[in-house]
Amino acid sequence: MKVEYRIYMGIGIFVLLVTTVYFFWAKEYGGVTMLFGTAGLGIMPALYFGWWRKRMDPRPEDSETATLAESKGAIGAFPSNTIWPFVLGMGAFLSGLSLVFGEWTLVIGGALLIFAAASVTLESRRGGVI
Amino acid sequence: MSNFKSVRERRVGRKGLLLAFFAVVLSSCSSTFGGYRGATTQGQSEASLYQGFMITGIVVAGVTFLGLFYVLVRYRRRKGTNRIPSQRHSNLPVEVIYTVIPVLIVIGLFVFTVRSENKITQVSSNPNVSVDITAFQWGWRFTYSNGVSIVSQGANYPQLVLPANETTKVTLVSQDVVHGFYVPAFNFSRYALPGVTNYFDLTPTSTGTYVGRCSALCGLYHGEMLFSVRVVTPSQFQSWLTQQKAA
Amino acid sequence: MTIAEERNDLSNEEGGHEHEHGGPRGIYLWLTSTDHKVIGKSYMYTALIFMLIAGAMAMLIRAQLTGPNNHIVSQQTYNELFTIHGSMMLYLFAGPFAFGGFANYILPLQIGAPDMAFPRLNALSYWLFVTGGITMLSGFFTSGGAAAFGWVSYAPLSSYSNAPGAGPDLWIVAIALTGFSGIFTAVNLITTAFYLRAPGLTMFRLPIFTWNMIVTGMLILIAFPILTAAMIMLYADRHFGAHFFTVSGGGSPVMWQNLFWFFGHPEVYILALPYFGIVSEVIPVFSRKPIFGYKGLVFATLAIAGLSTGVWAHHMFTTGTVLLPFFSALSLLIAVPTGVKVFTWIATMWGGDIEFKTPMLFVIGFLFTFVMGGVTGVMLAAPPIDFAVHDTYFVVAHFHQVLAGTAVFGGFSGFFYWYPKLTGRMYRESLGKLQFWMAFVGFSLTFFPQYLIGLRGMPRRVPVYLVSDHVTFLNQLSTVGAFLTGASFIVWLINMWISWKKPVAAGDNPWDGHTLEWATSSPPPHHNFVSLPPIRSARPLWDANHPEHADYKNQGHGSVPREREEQK
Ligand SMILES: [Cu+2]
């Protein structure tokens, strides 16, 4: 996690420096706001990774000498085929189109969104790690 | 024997290449590389900056391509061979050199850029002439300080008249969407923005008529939003102005 | 090590559990798969279809410009064509082809992972991408036509009064959909690369392509939210009477430009970095050498990411509202890490054993085009030069050389390089080379004249020009080049068709590849790997295949068992 933390922190701090220079030199506050937000997008994930870095067991993928045997347990749970992302996408599509063609597509799109979101959640509850 | 000959040939080839390369660089010092010489003092400043950038660009790209072609020819796989080359994967001095040299080049370019840009964006406090330019869909209005106003009418392109060797201060605004006041021969363009007033100076150096156009997409007839600039002597300019005023 | 698979309820209508055999096929596979390989391929082919459509629009644009006063298309249609051409190429081809297509397929393979971290999210982002594309194209079928305000959509030209009708709204919705799709993919890529690496594959052993995709992901997460926010503001201005970008309501049209380019410039690198990654994979393999200056290359990529957030206003030099020296300095500076990359690639080939297969040819085409576009890019970083050529064909030529050149040459290099892995089949080398030469000659012929056209003062986005501009012949040359480039894609389609009809088996590792994607079968099985070689350097497969030249030998990690470790 150390490298992950550092690259995010590096970007965050670099953009913070740019923000400071820009703030005092350009005095244009739209840009300052955007740059400051961007610095946050570097620093926030960095803090998350930094927090975990201290609390996590050393991972075999961070060790230069780890062997495959060292990765114990499940890598993760991977879903098999499912239609719900497609339905969710269509729901988002129709909901988006309501911005152009009026509310009636939102009714269908919204219904699809809710139904698919619920189904995809239930599906992953039902599954679980083997 | 044949080996000796090929080495010599290669050397001549390289020398020839180098010579041709420098010939291009030297001959182009006087050239504008396809750009305009600039019919204003500001435009001439741009032209010389562009020349400098172009020469630097030719040198940098030339060196890079020479390196590339050398590598491609020298280290191509020969038919029927199967060798594993040296697996060297770093060389710190080389890496430092190819990082530091670009930094130095860039710093140099920046210095010249700032000089030129200060000259071009400078707005004089006591110009000889002031013109208000308003851009609109799809035409231009040029208003002189004495009230004379030239405006696009139908398909007639309006003409901006400027005195040579005098500084004209332009105040540029837009009435509707974003437009661009662009005179290619002046090497200059500036956006006309709604809600923003832009100021810049034009100091034409030679008389003549030049094409001007809208550079920023502004809708359906953007492509036909043309105008012309006629640069005349100061005395001609004064008589033109009074004549227009009377009309 | 096990790979868990979620169980579908056997009683539901999806047909329950399945494995690589007996699973769904055809359209049903396309609709339901969460396998990164299926999604990656779908992404790629969809993006390529969008590219062909947008390319056809480019042909129409070039046809219109063969004469100063042609009437091949109407002015309104012309504006719609270049708007949608640009929007599709940028939002629907160059980006998704790389981070949805290549990255999706290759990144998990390169790090020895069984899939992406969030497979269902991955499928969702594909569907958002497809529907975004359909939404954008459907603008042409509305009564008012498609959006016609350029891919940058400058306010207030994009306001309701200046651009009424459904077309512009469809454009906004399309950008929002593809924007979310990009954000989801970025989250997926970063999480996968951070959490699903194989044991021993430390960050500084990651293949450069994976590194570039991590940085691309970071940039997407920085840039795309701003784009989406800007789209919402624009929509609110158009329909809810908001005044973000209207002067009369106290808003600022220049703010749109700031927002857009704060997205837009990182976007340029979002489009370029994945292809730089591809190039950084192809060059070492076809030179039989490791990448030169690995860490330097990684830091150059990170430096590009950092700097790219501070250069947005170099698109706004001519507005007279931005701090010229600041943006000029940062824009010039970003040329340094970019230059370092080019030198790194040449240094990688130096002393190598270079084999000119199709992927390598495309890389050389990329290098040539990219250096040309890079040099003119440095010129445009100088405000005075930008004043002279801003919004002219000089700029058009520049960004096509850096962006389209990168996406087409880099993209096809990657396509041919990984085609055997994707399909298990080989393409026809002679047709690949023919395609390269046609594309390369055509591309150069298209864009070199455009530099001169721009220097002579022809603005972009105009359907007509003056005879006295002396650009007619140059425009005709450019059009010939464009059609030659277009024809090169027909050669590509023929190549694909032959390879499909008369398959030639490619083998698992036809190029003597270095990285883990070549350690599995072609195409890889469900969940990717049956076994992995031990990972002791950035080139585990090279180490396994060439133990006497292995990287770990010069890196001091001691000896490593020769046999492959079986995955449990
Ligand atoms: Cu205009």
CATH number, position C206: 1.20.210.10
Q: What 3-state class would DSSP assign to B131?
A: strand
Q: Which of residues 290-329 of C touch B (CB under 8 A)?
A: 290-296, 318-321, 324-325, 328-329
Mean pLDDT of C250-274: 91
Whether residue C515 contacts residue C285, with contact meaning beta carbons closer than 8 Å, is answered with no
Q: Is the pLDDT of residue B1 over 50?
A: no
Amino acid at B175: Q
Q: What DSSP state is assigned to residue C407?
A: I
Mean pLDDT of C64-81: 91
Predicted confidence (pLDDT) per residue in C365-419, tens digit: 999 999 999 999 999 999 999 999 999 999 999 999 999 999 999 999 999 999 9
DSSP H or E segment with residue C328: helix C324-333
Q: Which of residues 456-485 of C touch B (CB under 8 A)?
A: 456-457, 459-466, 468-469
Distance CA A22, CA C325 (A): 11
Q: Is residue C3 part of a domain?
A: no
At residue A76, the pLDDT reads 65
Q: How many CB atoms lie within 10 A of CB C464?
A: 16
At residue C498, the pLDDT reads 94
Phi and psi angles of residue C530, each rounded to the nearest 5 degrees, phi first? -95, -40
Residue in A41, A68, A130 nearest the CB of C199: A68
Distance CA C546, CA C159 (A): 62
Predicted confidence (pLDDT) per residue in C348-359, tens digit: 999 888 999 999
At residue B88, the pLDDT reads 80
B194 touches chain C (CB under 8 A): yes
Q: For chain A, which residues make up each domain, given as ranges?
A: 2-71, 84-124
Whether residue C294 contacts residue C255, with contact meaning beta carbons closer than 8 Å, is answered with no
Q: Across-strand partners of B11?
A: none
Distance CA C512, CA C194 (A): 27
- Write out the residues surrounding ion ligand 1, Cβ under 5 A: B 179, 214, 218, 225
B104 touches chain C (CB under 8 A): no
First to last CA, chain C: 5
Q: Is residue C563 part of a domain?
A: no
ipTM of the prediction greater than 0.90, yes or no: yes
Q: Is the pLDDT of residue A130 over 70?
A: no
Q: Is residue C216 part of a domain?
A: yes
The CA distance from C477 to the nearest CA of chain B, in Å, is: 17
The CA distance from C405 to the nearest CA of chain A, in Å, is: 28
Give the HSE-up count for residue C308: Cα atoms under 13 Å, Cβ half-sphere: 26
Are C461 and B219 inside 8 Å of each other by CB?
A: no
> Separation of B137 CA from ligand 1 center, angstroms?
6
Q: Is the pLDDT of residue C25 over 80?
A: no
Q: Which of residues 165-224 of C touch A (CB under 8 A)?
A: 166, 169-170, 172-173, 176-177, 180, 194, 196-205, 214, 218, 221-222
Nearest to C383 by CA among C307, C334, C315, C333: C315
Mean pLDDT of C547-555: 74
The CA distance from B246 to the nearest CA of chain C, in Å, is: 34
Whether residue A5 contacts residue A55, with contact meaning beta carbons closer than 8 Å, is answered with no
A10 touches chain C (CB under 8 A): yes
Which chain B residues are Cβ-neighbours of C393 within 8 angstroms?
Answer: none
Q: Are strands B208-214 and B179-183 parallel, antiparallel or unpaired?
A: antiparallel
Distance CA C306, CA C299 (A): 10
Whether residue B192 contacts residue B180, with contact meaning beta carbons closer than 8 Å, is answered with yes
Burial class (CB in 10 A: 0-12, 13-18, 19+), C309: buried
- Percentages of chain B per state (helix, strand, coil), in multiples of 5: 45, 25, 30
Q: Are strands B129-136 and B168-174 parallel, antiparallel or unpaired?
A: parallel
Distance CA C210, CA C216 (A): 10
Q: What DSSP state is assigned to residue A77?
A: E
DSSP per-residue string spanning B171-208: EEEESSS-EEEEEGGGTEEEEE-TT--EEEEE-B-S-E
User: How much is the CA Rg of chain A, to the nearest whole Å?
Assistant: 22
For tokens 């279809």, the residue is C49
Nearest to C43 by CA among C99, C120, C100, C115: C100
Token pair recorded at residue B100: 């530091």
The CA distance from C170 to the nearest CA of chain A, in Å, is: 6
Predicted confidence (pLDDT) per residue in A33-91, tens digit: 999 999 999 999 999 998 888 888 888 888 888 777 776 656 666 777 888 889 999 99
Distance CA C469, CA C485 (A): 26
Torsion of CA C44, C50, C52, C58, to 10 degrees: -140
Amino acid at C476: Q
Chain C: residue whose CA lies nearest to B54: C379
Whether residue B175 contacts residue B136, with contact meaning beta carbons closer than 8 Å, is answered with yes
At residue B25, the pLDDT reads 53
Nearest to C199 by CA among C535, C496, C544, C429: C535
Distance CA A29, CA A24 (A): 10
Token pair recorded at residue B87: 């697996």
Q: How many CB atoms lie within 10 A of CB A18?
A: 21
At residue C469, the pLDDT reads 84
Distance CA C338, CA C327 (A): 17
Domain holding C414, by residue range, is 36-557
Residues 6+ away with beta carbon under 8 Å from C361: C432, C433, C436, C437
Chain B: residue whose CA lies nearest to C317: B190
Distance CA C193, CA C175 (A): 27
Residues 6+ away with beta carbon under 8 Å from A122: none
| Local confidence band at C493 (pLDDT 50, 70, 90 cut-offs) | very high
Q: For chain B, which residues make up each domain, given as ranges?
A: 31-75+91-121, 129-246
> Separation of B213 CA from ligand 1 center, angstroms?
8
B216 touches chain C (CB under 8 A): yes
Q: Which residue has the higher pLDDT, C84 or B146?
A: C84
Distance CA C84, CA C90 (A): 10
Which chain B residues are Cβ-neighbours of C340 within 8 angstroms?
Answer: 95, 98-99, 102
Token pair recorded at residue C280: 């950084």
Predicted confidence (pLDDT) per residue in B143-195, tens digit: 998 888 888 887 778 999 999 999 999 999 999 999 999 999 999 999 999 98
Cα–Cα distances (Å) from C220 to B197, C80, C180, in that order, read 34, 27, 10
CA–CA–CA angle C106, C112, C117 (5° rounding): 75
Q: Are strands A74-78 and C2-5 parallel, antiparallel or unpaired?
A: parallel
Q: What 3-state class would DSSP assign to A44?
A: helix
Distance CA B215, CA B190 (A): 9
| Local confidence band at C11 (pLDDT 50, 70, 90 cut-offs) | very low
Give the HSE-up count for residue C259: Cα atoms under 13 Å, Cβ half-sphere: 21
Token pair recorded at residue A97: 């189109």
The CA distance from B9 to the nearest CA of chain C, in Å, is: 22
Q: Is the pLDDT of residue C467 over 90?
A: no
Chain B: residue whose CA lies nearest to C325: B114
At residue C538, the pLDDT reads 87
Are B117 and C347 inside 8 Å of each other by CB?
A: no
At residue A127, the pLDDT reads 53
Q: Across-strand partners of B179?
A: B192
Q: B129-246: which CATH architecture? A: Sandwich (2.60)
